[in-house]
Structure 1
């Protein structure tokens, strides 16, 4: 009897210890995810800005976009092959059936791929002409455009807090632009190779394209059973073709004379690898985080970019920029908060808390499945 009573007691103790360790492990993974998200969000923008402002030969941004697409396709193909446990026959059969046999389904991705390619090129233009901190703040307008396209195309509903956050976001970006407008003449004199107006138009168009392409891609994902990795292969194929077309159109003669890899340095390769693998890396680590943590990471990355820009590029932070950036940071965090579940006709405390928890998990799960892949550009979310 003593032995039998000890057995269950020991089992319960082991379950509690295992559960505690599992909880501690998840907490550590969340903080690791936060660090990775912040580093990836801030480092790519700062590194692009750095390599585009260095003296000497400049690499062709169109070739960098193509190279990033090729690396992304190869990575996704490797992941699919591993999912097939190295069975090359099944791997080829899956690709043929999904890409060639279902060609109409594949062609649907030509539209977002074209827009993503345009967006990636525009971001290089924007970062080359705007201070890194200003770009980071202004680029958060993609949250506004994505929300509006989601309401229009997917019939999604936004909470009052989200609508307020969008207004706050727009106001914060507007304040930053007013503050930067006062510095435009000075910037033009000191940096004759930079055009603030050109950079601003590029980032605004990039935000519009990001919003539309992201929602369009989300709609395709939800209407299909294909894996996200396979969808990224399809996107990457079109992205590579569109990128090559843009390369030929914009830099064809220059690349024919100087070479595809002209101006590539270890730092440039670092930027390309960050752009290619950054989104995929975020997609993996965000599974251990939640939507609130993603919003916090984005907000914190703005602070990191601003502080780093002060020391690296001599960026001047004044009261207006601080106010505008603070409003954007608050808006990003507010928008990422989970919706409050609507009360039922006869709610109990247990039912309402359970419903809210399920709603939060549903929202976080949906975001983690789609958001990291919607922005195939410098920022994921």
Structure 2
């Protein structure tokens, strides 16, 4: 476990021991005190994520030629990380130029080295993301875009379990029921995109697809949870500086993948621009934007909200897939989406809050009310004392006017 200090920008609290429980408590306190501006940010994050995540499988599908990719998927992931690194550097320079007097210089070597040591855990989600981004292309060889999106939404249940184990996140019974309802809604969609009896690499395609699906669900779920833990555990570090480390690690892992591919397939596969088209270039930009947006989700919101917003993106993916490629939107798909929306409403309902969280909020309200009552009683005492003095003075004046 990492040791250090968490400082929440909203509440100003500091936690010295960065255990999973301390990170979870810091997040709960931060979430209970969010402002309307922060809620507006979450809303914009959800809208942006729905658009970008919805476009991603469509562009991957458009990049296929005769059912195959003419380019190396690892090269797309490497170029995506490179674009995100450029964005992080530009924003870091912009943030450094607008720093307040007395703050640490973000561009100094000492700040960079210290932040690199504190955020070394970001290498774990970077490696997992490198694996997941490659699997996104492989999954498109076996499923259509809408089905890939629906399968990826199954991650939310795995993420919830990992959040409880790793970050000690607490969920109410209603929220667990909402997650189960989400899983049911996803399962209702039974889109079949694999021909019966087809073979690939000597095994039934369905078997390979199920293996890829299992890895496709578990790996990114672990990446999301570790990423949220790493970003929140160093909350006082600039998000652009953290992104620089995360994307830097990701670029290194993908570059190692390119080298490994060149060793097995020959030097010709080392050309990272070979086989790319306008669709892949647009895909790189969309992936970069989606990755940057995800970091804001994990730092300032949470992974569950991120996965639910990705689930909503399924509607966009399904409609676009039907309009562009003629894929049929079945009744199962429509019913599944309806159940997902019910699950989403149930999970974020005020009635679904954890009892401890409600108790904390209630205790804070009671404490504030107690302080107000104490202040009011002090004011009443002061006013009563002043009135008593005035009353005594008036009584003496009236008494002197009475006849003796």
Q: CA deviation at 1:146?
A: 1.2
Change (3 A) 1:173 1:255: farther
Q: Secondary structure at the match of 2:141?
A: helix
Change (3 A) 1:208 1:74: same
Q: Aligned to 2:167, which of 125, 132, 154?
A: 154
Residue 234 (structure 1) aligned with residue 245 (structure 2): yes
Q: State the partner residue of 1:213.
A: 223
Q: CA deviation at 1:149?
A: 0.5
State the alpha-carbon separation in 2 of the partners of residues 134 and 345 from structure 1. 41
State the alpha-carbon separation in 2 of the partners of residues 164 and 314 from structure 1. 35
Q: State the partner residue of 1:273.
A: 285
Structure with more helix by fraction: 1
State the alpha-carbon separation in 2 of the partners of residues 202 and 308 from structure 1. 24
State the alpha-carbon separation in 1 of the partners of residues 86 and 126 from structure 2. 16
Q: Secondary structure at the match of 1:76?
A: helix
Please say if residues 130 and 196 of structure 1, whose CA atoms lie closer than 8 Å, have aligned partners that are also in contact. Answer: no
* Largest Rg, 1 or 2: 2
| Equivalent pairs, count | 321
Q: State the partner residue of 1:129.
A: 142
Residue 323 (structure 1) aligned with residue 329 (structure 2): no
Change (3 A) 1:325 1:30: closer
Residue 114 (structure 1) aligned with residue 118 (structure 2): no
Q: CA deviation at 1:111?
A: 1.9
Q: CA deviation at 1:166?
A: 1.6
Question: Greater shift after overlay, 156-165 or 33-42?
Answer: 33-42
State the alpha-carbon separation in 1 of the partners of residues 173 and 153 from structure 2. 19
Q: CA deviation at 1:79?
A: 0.6
Q: State the partner residue of 1:370.
A: none
TM-score by length of 1: 0.70
Q: Aligned to 1:301, which of 304, 313, 316?
A: 313
Q: State the partner residue of 2:208.
A: 198
Please say if residues 56 and 287 of structure 2, whose CA atoms lie closer than 8 Å, have aligned partners that are also in contact. Answer: yes
Please say if residues 171 and 353 of structure 2, whose CA atoms lie closer than 8 Å, have aligned partners that are also in contact. Answer: no
Q: State the partner residue of 1:18.
A: none
Q: Aligned to 1:222, which of 214, 229, 232?
A: 232
Q: CA deviation at 1:335?
A: 3.2
Q: State the partner residue of 2:194.
A: 184
Q: CA deviation at 1:122?
A: 1.1
Q: Secondary structure at the match of 2:195?
A: helix
Residue 261 (structure 1) aligned with residue 273 (structure 2): yes
Question: Greater shift after overlay, 150-159 or 37-46?
Answer: 37-46
Structure with more strand by fraction: 2
Please say if residues 291 and 336 of structure 1, whose CA atoms lie closer than 8 Å, have aligned partners that are also in contact. Answer: no
Root-mean-square deviation over aligned CA pairs: 4.1
Which residues in structure 2 correspond to 1:1-381 (within 5 Å)?
35-53=47-65, 58-85=70-97, 90-93=105-108, 96-100=109-113, 104-176=117-189, 179-180=190-191, 184-185=194-195, 188=198, 195-224=205-234, 225-252=236-263, 254=265, 256-257=267-268, 259-281=271-293, 297-337=309-349, 339-340=352-353, 342=355, 351=365
Change (3 A) 1:62 1:333: farther
Q: Secondary structure at the match of 2:64?
A: helix
TM-score by length of 2: 0.66
Deviation readout 1:60-108 (Å, 9 max, x if unpaired): 1010111111111111111111111189x95542xx3355456543433
Deviation readout 1:180-216 (Å, 9 max, x if unpaired): 45x5335959xxxx94543443343132122222222
Please say if residues 175 and 347 of structure 2, whose CA atoms lie closer than 8 Å, have aligned partners that are also in contact. Answer: yes
Change (3 A) 1:286 1:207: closer
The gaps in structure 1 that reach 5 residues or longer are: 1-23, 356-381
